[in-house]
Amino acid sequence: MKWTEPRQIARLISAVEDGRPGHEEQLKELFYQTGQAHVIGVTGPPGAGKSSLTDKLAKYYVDQGKRVGIIAVDPTSPFSGGSILGDRIRMNDLTTNPNVFIRSMGTRGHLGGLASSTHLVKQILDGAGADIIFIETVGVGQSEVEIVQAADTVLMVMVPGLGDDIQSMKAGIMEIGDVFAINKADLPGADRAKIDIQNMLTFQPEKDWLPLVQMVSVKENTGIEELAKAIEMHRSFLNEEDRLAIRRKRNTRNELIDLLYDKLYRRLVTQGNFERYLEQIVEKTLDPYSAIDKLLEDLRSENEND
């Protein structure tokens, strides 16, 4: 997989996203090329400016000669299964830059969870030679949290005037931020927002990293470089001692569980005797606990016959 062959990269991503079989060999090979990229998860409330800010940060890195991959995730409609993926609207200048590759993803109804799918896309871009990878998701919902958590650095994008919403977001989401951007600092209330967030962050005593808070305005092009510096400070922090290794091991554990779940689900639920046993359970000729034993037994004999 080469960075200079975007069509090949794009096609492998589609194959993985659609769950098409037959790409494991390619992914296996690719795996050994991964681990170089600095992965930055970008999250925050809808409309906070995540895409606009990602665009600016990506430009900053491109100007330093880096290759940048961007994965932008938007929700899939639960009614039709379709989606409108609009994050590229804020990134049009980057589109034709040969050092940038942008991919939009719908959350779809993934088997092994959305996290598993974004993880593979991240690996493909990493293996293809990205130096920096941004993953943008809206900061609502468990699977979105899981995705950004799988980053080396989590950038939380906030805006003035969230007020009590900050308190309600606190549970589960605010804790994962390593760097906070208060975007739209051109609007009133930015100072207040900064104080609120800083206050909140000081109540996380168990952390050895106190998240940095940076005011930015994409509109007025202020604070971007400082924000990039804050992200780099976090990266340097990770590089000290074995923090990066610990964090990546945690992430790799989650990713491995997702992949395993995905594969087992496919083999145990969508193939084989699952439906037959289900019928028998409904007819009360089999109990669910024995059915599970039988499924696992099927899997074992299947493997022996391989």
Ligand X SMILES: Nc1nc2c(ncn2[C@@H]2O[C@H](COP(=O)(O)OP(=O)(O)OP(=O)(O)O)[C@@H](O)[C@H]2O)c(=O)[nH]1
Binding site for ligand X (CB under 6 A): 46-52, 87, 90, 138, 183-184, 186-187, 217-219
Q: Which residue's CB is nearer to other proteins, number 33 or number 92?
A: 92
| Closer of 16 and 231 to other proteins (Cβ) | 16
Asked if 125 contacts 70 with a C-beta cutoff of 8 angstroms, the reply is no
Query: Which partner from the list other proteins, ligand X, Mg ion, none does 106 bind, CB cut-off 5 to 8 Å by kind?
Result: other proteins
Q: How far apart are CA 130 and CA 34, in angstroms?
A: 9
Answer whether 166's CB lies under 8 Å from 174's CB.
yes
For residue 236, give the H/E element and its range. Answer: helix 224-239
Cα torsion angle, 9, 10, 15, 18, sign: positive
- CA 13 to CA 78: how far, in whole Å? 23
* CA–CA gap between residue 196 and residue 215 (Å, rounded): 13
**Of 249, 21, 10, whose CA–CA distance to 124 is shortest?**
10
**Residue 66 interacting partner from ligand X, Mg ion, other proteins, none (CB closer than 5 to 8 Å by kind):** none
Residue 176 contacts other proteins per CB under 8 A: no
Q: Which residue has the tokens 């991964």?
A: 34
- Could you say which of ligand X, other proteins, Mg ion, none residue 203 binds, taking C-beta under 5 to 8 angstroms by partner kind? none
Which tokens hold the place of 255?
A: 């990713």
Residue 219 binding partner per list other proteins, Mg ion, ligand X, none, with a CB distance cut-off of 5 to 8 Å that depends on partner kind: ligand X
**Minimum CB distance to ligand X, residue 85 (Å):** 9
Nearer to Mg ion, 77 or 202 (CB): 77
Q: Using the rule CB under 5 A, is 52 a contact of Mg ion?
A: no
Residue 18 and residue 133 in contact, taking contact as beta carbons nearer than 8 Å: no
Query: Contact at 8 Å (CB) between 122 and 223?
Result: no
Q: Which of 45, 57, 87, 110 is the binder for Mg ion (CB under 5 A)?
A: 87
Is residue 89 part of the contact set for other proteins (CB under 8 A)? yes
* 103 touching other proteins, by CB under 8 A: yes
Residue 105 or 216: which CB sits closer to other proteins? 105
Partner whose footprint covers residue 186, from Mg ion, ligand X, other proteins, none (CB < 5 to 8 Å by kind):
ligand X
Residue 82 interacting partner from other proteins, ligand X, Mg ion, none (CB closer than 5 to 8 Å by kind): other proteins
Strand pairing of 153-158 and 179-182?
A: parallel
Strand order in the sheet with 212-215: 100-106, 68-74, 132-136, 38-43, 153-158, 179-182, 212-215
Residues in region 5-24 near other proteins by CB under 8 A: 6-7, 9-11, 13-14, 17-21
Report the alpha-carbon distance of residue 263 to residue 261 in Å, rounded. 6
Q: Which positions lie near other proteins, rule CB under 8 A?
A: 6-7, 9-11, 13-14, 17-21, 76-77, 79-86, 88-89, 92, 95-96, 101-104, 106, 108-109
Q: Which positions lie near Mg ion, rule CB under 5 A?
A: 50-51, 87
